[in-house]
Amino acid sequence: MSDPNRIPIISAHPPEKVQKPVKPHHTPRYYVHRVKESLATRVSKIVCAIFLTLLLILGIITFILWLSLRPHRPRVFIHDFSVPGLSQANGFENAELGFNITLRNSNQHISIDYDALDGSVFYKDQKIGSKSLFPGVHQDPKTTTTVTDVLSGATLTVTSQRWMEFLGDRAAGSVTFRMELTSAIRFKVSTWESKRHRMHASCTVAVGPNGNILLASKDKRCPVYFT
C-alpha cells in the first residue's frame, strides 16, 4: 500500500469499492444538507404564503374601493314628448316638437360635469331637428336635471312631404321618433376629475293620434352609451 507505484491503482479503484457499501447509509453531511434544504423550502413556503395572503387582501380592498367608487353613468328618462297639431293636414307650417327629459346622477359621492348638451330628433333615421339644450352643467351626487325644450322653426326641418308621412303613421296608430342627446361628461370626486367621456342617450318615443306621448313610451329609460 505504501509502494508509490501502486498508488494510482489504489486511488483508481477503492473509491468505487468504498462508495458501494456507503450508498444505503447516508453520511451525516448528507442529513445536515437535507435538513438545511427542508428548512429553506419551509421558509420560502411561508414567505410565499404571506406574500399571497397580502396580495389577496390588497385585491379585496381594491375591489371594494372600486365597487364603492365606480362611477355610474347618468340615467336618462323621457317623460314627455309631443307634436301639437299632428291632427292637422297643414300642421308642418308651424310644426313643434316638445319634450321633457331628465338626467339623473345616481352616484353617492361622484358629481358629473356636463359639457354642452345637444339634442337631435330623428324620424326613420333622418335627422329632422336639433338644438343645443344647455351650455354646460355641474350635477351634484343624487340629483336630477330636467331638460324641457321645444324644437320649432329653424331648429326643426319638417317638409310637407315628411308631414304627410307623419299623417300616414298617425292613421296607423302612432308616429315613432328617436331623440338623441349628446354631451361629454367628466366624473368628479372632490378635486379629482376624470377625463371626458363622449356620452349618447338614445330615446325611442312614440306619439299617438292626438300628438301626445304614448303610455308605452312615457317615463321610459333611454339607453346610454359612450364613444
Q: How far is the CB of 131 from ligand NAG (least distance, A)?
A: 16
Q: Which residues bind ligand NAG (CB under 6 A)?
A: 79-80, 100, 146, 148
**C-alpha grid cell, residue 71:** 362611477
Q: Give the nearer residue to ligand NAG in terms of CB position, either 37 or 219.
A: 219
**C-alpha grid cell, residue 34:** 437535507
Q: Give the nearer residue to ligand NAG in terms of CB position, either 80 or 118.
A: 80
Q: Give the nearer residue to ligand NAG in terms of CB position, either 101 or 112.
A: 101
Q: How far is the CB of 101 from ligand NAG (least distance, A)?
A: 8
Q: Give the nearer residue to ligand NAG in terms of CB position, either 148 or 159.
A: 148
For residue 153, is it left (φ>0), alpha (ψ between -120 and 50) or beta?
Answer: left
Residue with cell 445536515: 32
Q: How far is the CB of 180 from ligand NAG (least distance, A)?
A: 19
- 182 DSSP β-pair partners: 118, 200
How far apart CA 33 and CA 199 sit, in angstroms, is 67
Nearest to 104 by CA among 146, 44, 160, 66: 146
Q: How far is the CB of 148 from ligand NAG (least distance, A)?
A: 4
The CA radius of gyration of the chain, in Å to the nearest whole number, is 39
